[in-house]
Structure 1
Amino acid sequence: MNLMTPRHLGCYELDSKVDRIRLHKTAHHLAVHPLSENISHQYNVHIEDVAEHSTEIDALTGLPDQSGFNKKLNLMMRECQIKLDESFGLILFDFDYFNQINSNHGHLVGDQILKTLAERVQRVLPQEVFFTRLGSDEFALLIPHIHSDAYLIETYALIHQEISRPIEYLDQIIESNISAGCAIYPRDVTDTMNVVQAANIALCRLKLSGRGGYCIFKREMQIEQNVIAQQFNCARYILRHNLICPFYQPKFNLKNGQLTGFEALLRWYDQHDQLQLPRRIKNAFEDYNLASRLSEIMQLRVFRDMAEWIDQGLDMVPVSINAAPVEFLKDNYAELLLDRLDRFNIPHSLVEIEITEHLLDEHGKAYISRALNKLKHEGIRIALDDFGTGHSSLTRLANLPVDCLKIDCDFVQRMEQEKLIFAIVQSIISMSSNLGIDVVAEGIENVHQLELLKQQGCEIGQGFLFSHALAPAEAKALLS
């Protein structure tokens, strides 16, 4: 196998257990050494060999590329059309958060890791399986002569076992994981969808529920994918026509009824002048580009309103702004927010960022921790929303700069009838008090709920019992 690329020249050794990577430059080559601890194979490669690569071979891994994949796919489909009882499987997979390996160690190391992992997979695959690199960290497997999901699952388990073995680089252990979407031709093909689209839909479905593992295409996924596409298009329409309008949910002191703050909520008016809620575009908040653009416009609208109220001398209260988990996939959330705040000269003490507990389950915890600690240092409060609905942990509260816990509205509405839920609410309020953390109850809708919360020591709440979400003019009137 030719392991040379125009950018990566040198010597390559494979270890059958733990791969170690070492990079060094000389005047003539760049060497990459996964060092063998037992049986190894050494390849010495020279720059003259590079020109011999086929145009259908990926230069980094030596695998067939996108063009080679397309030819093989078309050939296998023709064979299935000739032999009506023939079928084949397709697995599309990519590496979870591989961009963070590139960011932390550089693209050169990232390339060598991809090469090493591709070789591992290639060594264990049956000869008849066609393994290809589609681009970046995306790969595909074409598996002939299968008629059920079982062999797809077996093949996934085989490649996952190889990829999950760690790589050592500069005394650091680098671990990798993959997400895979699977489909079978012709079983999963329709007049409007080919087998690649089916596998892609399965992969997208997997990523919506969390990365890692595999997902096999089912027909109902196409319907769900159409819904997601509609939501994405709706979000793009909102952005294109500049329709975002923040509404403000008041928070009140439960003892004396005093206004203590607002939660800014994204709203927009549709073409029929009907007010719409974010659930109509909830899947758009799973996409970094859409979520970050929606968030930017929302923040600028809120800060514009706040600046106007401050300039008019109103008695301002803090405003909470929600952050989508994907906004932390890049390590610049805090800087972007602070820049927007400073553009409008908003005192940092008047802003609170609400993150969901589920955010803490996401990969890239270092970015999240750094962003929250920077915001806290700059005087911005941090609230943990929907507390108790995820994998709650006291360690998280100790390690993150949380100022406030928000009791999920579902707990508030169920606590009247369910003793267990009431006990959970009691525990959250008691724990918050002991830790010196504020607690806010969401979704208070009746007096009985209010009295139960007050009896347990909850001091701040929001919900329809007090007020619906207010348009900017209504919020301004409440401040007045």
Structure 2
Amino acid sequence: MSLSLVDHFSYQTRVAVHVNNRDALKRLFAAMMIMTVCWLFGDQRAAVFWSAVIVCSELLGRIVNRRVSLTGPPLPFGICLAIWAVNWLTLWPMLVPAVVLAGHGSDALLVASLLWVFGIHVHISNSYAALPFFNWSLMIPAFAMTAIMFWQAYTAPPIASTLLEWCAATAMLLVYAGNTLQTMSAQKDTLVKLAEARKDADKRLSELEFLTRHDHLTGLMNRRAFEEAATALLPRRSNRDRNQLGYFLIDLDGFKPINDSYSHKAGDAVLVTVAERLTKFVGNSGVVARLGGDEFATAISGVRNAVQALRLANEIATLIKQPIIVDHKRLEVGASVGVALTTSTQDSLAGIASGADQAMYKAKGDPGQVAFVYDRDSFPVRASLDDRVTILRAMQKQNIAPYYQPKINLDTGFIEGFEALSRWRHPTRGLLLPGKFLPYINELGLQTDFLMRTTGLVLQQIEDWLEQGFDPGEVSVNLPEVTLATLSGRAAVMDLIEKFPRARAKLTFEVTEDVFIARSGNLIQESIAAFRQAGIRISLDDFGTGFASFKHLRELEFDELKLDTGFVRGLGHDKAAEVLVAGFLGIGKGLGVKVIAEGVETETQRTLLREMGCSVCQGFYYSPAMPSKEARNALWRQHTLGVPFTNTQKSAEGSGDAA
């Protein structure tokens, strides 16, 4: 890191203030002497006026300078500018006597004025030699006044010099000589003070750099500094047995109750103690960091194998678990430790950090073990940044797009609507169902992007069908909890549906029962009410899976119930399933909402549902989800030929997909 121009200006200003304060009496004495000379040779009014101006300017400078020291943080730019302006303006009245004396026409007084103005030149150059900005900016008025002085002397009528005038000139010469010697001597002091100011600046710069790379509480490296240091420890040569780097991710267990019960002061003391223990344990074999909150990390070189790594992790957990005494109280915290090892010189720090993170979470979920070592073969593959790029590109190119599973009226056989279910037309893996890519979307935090793109495509498709004269009925899209539970998610969806006024009346949002008890129940209910008010139908999906209660059914506003596939699958061979389905159909009828059976795959299921009073179903008995073109053809046959929907594509896909 380097000092900016503003910082340089700040530290030069500090030294300039020191010089001004140091030389204040000398300046006043010299000014009074030259004003006395002006008085003696007939310029009494000018002498009085400019004496008053000089005294006032010195007082103003004293007021501005009095609170500025050589050390401390950089001065605000405005204060620096004010101090410089006072110095610059104060110099002008000090130069005026030279012009006044040069205008007399006397050679002796001209010599006195020359000595005076050159003395000021020497004073500026010597006092501010190490302060370039002040030196050159103050020389400008000095040079300007010198030019005016010569012009004044040139235009004044010449007169003979008296003995008294030559005595004044001689006195000025002696004062000039003495002032020059004193100024040159003081230059050493200026350089010393400038060195002190620079030293203070360097110290503060080092402190600032330390703060940007270290945790302010424990003094350990922060995440950025740790990643740089740990990257430097990665093995550069192939030596899997002797030169592996172990990445240990440590999360404290039981730390929050200490904060809540004994105050943040006690919590801070625990964190500091843990940091000290880790630092001592690692020593010179690695680096330690506090990543944030109660999470620490260490990278240790020379870990031979997974057995040694697990032993070290258990030792770390045991070390942290030792009691910590704070204000005569015995406090204890545990630790969950995840470890990942490099396996080749191609491993990146981000890769082993991800592995350690998975191992740490496994340790937190296992009450019998405090540490785990990451093993690629036994841990699930995590989504990477490359996966994020691939998924985003697939959404942009509409390779991830909605397919449409028809909802069929059991009495007429006609399509009453569709459920939009996403499919990924993967270039190498073929057609992927949601279960193959939705977990990655959720893990990578792409739920909002996925929902907005999918819903936008569905709304556009509905409007296209309506434009072609085909009514698709009620088309449903699955709405995730994160959208319902956040104001921003709700607003984004509202903005989207406003762009498709014709399609809005055909749109249904499917939500699962569990969202109402998972979190933010009140906000979710508000979101559902807002969508219904905007003309969107709400369908309660997976009904009967056990999450909802009759209390929720009384409180919620919805238009449709969808029987879970698990109940439909039992029809024809499970009496309990038949009783439950009949009961759910009765609930729907009593509430005045439509009931749709999902996962219908056999003629027996279709027949029993119709006999029980279910009017609409969907499932593989009729059709899996189909591309938009095939759905359009089915609508064409229905609207143009009046032909009920028939199953033309048996598929191996499973039912109950989630978009």
TM category, shorter: 0.5 to 0.7
Q: By how many angstroms is 1:432 displaced? A: 3.1
Change (3 A) 1:430 1:359: same
Deviation at 1:351, TM superposition (A): 0.9
> Against the structure 1 CA distance between its residues 52 and 253, is the aligned structure 2 distance closer, same or farther, given a 3 Å change threshold?
same
User: For the structure 1 residues 468 and 201, does the alpha-carbon distance in structure 2 shift closer, same or farther, using more than 3 Å as the test?
Assistant: same
Matched, 1:463 2:619: yes
Q: Which amino acid counterpart does residue 334 of structure 1 have in structure 2?
A: R
* AA matched with 1:241: K
Deviation at 1:456, TM superposition (A): 3.3
**Higher CA-based Rg:** 2
Offset at 1:230?
7.5
Deviation at 1:303, TM superposition (A): 1.3
Aligned counterpart, 2:305: none
- 1:397 aligns to 2:522 (yes or no): no
* Structure-2 separation of matches of 1:421 and 1:360: 25
1:289 shift after superposition: 4.7
Counterpart of 2:592 (choices 436, 440, 449) is: 436
Distance apart, 1:268 and its partner CA: 4.2
The SS at the match of 2:311 is coil
Shift of 1:378: 1.4
Structural mapping, 1:131-170, within 5 Å: 132-134=289-291, 139-142=295-298, 147=311
| Alignment check: 8 A CA contact 1:329 1:364 kept | yes
The alpha-carbon distance between structure 1 residues 134 and 408, as it changes in their structure 2 partners (threshold 3 A), is same
Return the TM-score normalized by structure 1: 0.64
Distance 1:226 1:333 in 2: 26
The higher-RCO structure (CA 8 Å, 6+ apart) is: 1
More strand by share: 1
Contact 1:65–1:132, Cα closer than 8 Å, also in 2:
yes
Residue 381 of structure 2 corresponds to residue 225 of structure 1: yes
Distance 2:321 2:538 in 1: 41
Q: Distance in 2 between matches of 1:156 and 1:418?
A: 55
- For residues 467 and 203 of structure 1, the distance between their equivalents in structure 2, rounded to whole angstroms, comes to 43
Separation in 1, partners of 2:350, 2:514: 31
Alpha-carbon separation, structure 2, partners of 1:455 and 1:240: 45
Equivalent position to 1:57, from 214, 234, 240? 214
Deviates more, 1:439-448 or 1:61-70: 61-70
Pairwise CA distance, 1:117? 9.5
In structure 1, how many angstroms separate the alpha carbons of the residues matched to 2:570 and 2:394?
35
> Deviation at 1:141?
4.3
Deviations 1:309-364 (CA, angstroms, capped at 9, x unpaired): 22233334111012234445753233222322221222533111112345446445
> Alignment partner for residue 474 of structure 1, among 627, 630, 647?
630
The separation in 1 between residues aligned to 2:366 and 2:468, in whole angstroms, is 51
Q: How many residues align?
A: 388
Per the alignment, do residues 235 and 72 of structure 1 end up closer, same or farther by CA in structure 2, a change over 3 Å counting? closer
Whether the aligned pair in 2 keeps the contact of 1:284 and 1:291 (CA below 8 Å) is no
Q: Match for 2:454: what amino acid?
A: M
Tell me if 1:91 matches 2:250: yes
Q: Distance in 1 between matches of 2:360 and 2:563?
A: 29
- Determine the C-alpha separation between the residues in 2 that align with 1:383 and 1:286: 22
Higher share of residues assigned helix? 2
Query: 1:238 aligned to 381, 384, 394, which one?
Result: 394
In 1, the alpha carbon distance for the partners of 2:316 and 2:604 equals 54
Q: Separation in 2 of the partners of 1:406 and 1:215? A: 44
Query: How many Å apart are 1:299 and its aligned residue?
Result: 1.7
The corresponding residue for 1:128 is 277
8 A contact 2:411–2:615 mirrored in 1? yes
- 2:489 is matched with 333
Tell me how far apart the structure 2 counterparts of residues 138 and 461 of structure 1 sit (CA, whole Å). 51
**Is residue 422 of structure 2 the alignment partner of residue 266 of structure 1?**
yes
* Conserved 8 A contact 1:183-1:216: yes
C-alpha change, 1:199 and 1:87, in structure 2 (3 Å) is closer
Kept after mapping to 2: 8 A contact 1:92/1:200: no
1:249 is displaced (CA, Å) by 1.1
Alpha-carbon shift at residue 240 of structure 1 (Å): 4.1
1:255 CA displacement: 3.3
Report Cα offsets for 1:411-440 as digits up to 9, x if no partner.
322344444444443443333333334321
**Does the Cα contact within 8 Å between 2:218 and 2:271 map onto a contact in 1?**
no
Separation in structure 1 between the aligned mates of residue 249 and residue 565 of structure 2, nearest angstrom: 43
Alpha-carbon distance in structure 1 between the residues aligned to 2:472 and 2:447: 28
- In structure 1, how many angstroms separate the alpha carbons of the residues matched to 2:478 and 2:245? 51
What CA distance in whole angstroms lies between the structure 1 residues aligned with 2:410 and 2:623?
13
What is the aligned-residue identity percentage? Answer: 24
Contact 1:252 1:261 in 2 (8 A): yes
| Residue in 2 that maps onto 1:29 | none
- Which segment drifts farther, 124-133 or 375-384? 124-133
C-alpha contact 1:198 1:217 (8 A) present in aligned 2: no
User: Map of 1:344-355 to 2, 5 A cutoff?
Assistant: 344-355=500-511
Evaluate the alpha carbon distance shift between residue 224 and residue 257 of structure 1 in structure 2; reply closer, same or farther with a 3 A threshold: same
| Cα distance change, pair 408–157 in 1 and its aligned pair in 2 (3 A) | farther
2:354 pairs, out of 191, 200, 212, with 200
> What residue number does 1:446 align with?
602
Unaligned ranges ≥5, structure 2: 1-202, 254-262, 280-287, 301-308, 324-334, 640-659
Q: Which stretch of the first structure deviates more once superposed, 459-468 or 146-155?
A: 146-155
1:302 and 2:458 equivalent? Answer: yes
- Cα distance in 1 for residues equivalent to 2:322 and 2:505: 53
Measure the CA separation in 2 of the matches of 1:301 and 1:152.
52
- Check 1:386–1:189 CA distance in 2 against 1; reply closer, same or farther (3 A cut): farther
Determine if contact 2:476/2:508 at 8 Å carries over to the other structure: yes
Are the structure 2 counterparts of residues 201 and 461 from structure 1 closer, same or farther at C-alpha, using a change threshold of 3 Å?
farther
Deviations 1:179-217 (A, max 9, x none): x974236xx543365787455346468989x99999945
- The question of 1:119 aligning with 2:268 is answered yes
Q: Give the deviation of 1:462 after TM superposition.
A: 0.3
User: Residue 128 of structure 1 aligns to a residue in which SS?
Assistant: helix
CA distance in 2, matches of 1:75, 1:277: 42
The alpha-carbon deviation at position 292 of structure 1 amounts to 2.1
CA contact (8 A) 1:253 1:460 kept: yes
**Structure 2: distance between partners of 1:228 and 1:362:** 28
Residue 246 to residue 69, structure 1, CA distance change in 2 (3 Å): closer
Q: Distance in 2 between matches of 1:215 and 1:336?
A: 42
- CA-CA distance at 1:307 after TM superposition: 1.1
**1:250 & 1:117 partners in 2: Cα distance?**
61
Q: For structure 1, list consecutive stretches of 5 or more residues without a partner in the other structure.
A: 1-47, 95-113, 160-179
Say yes or no: does 1:292 pair with 2:448: yes
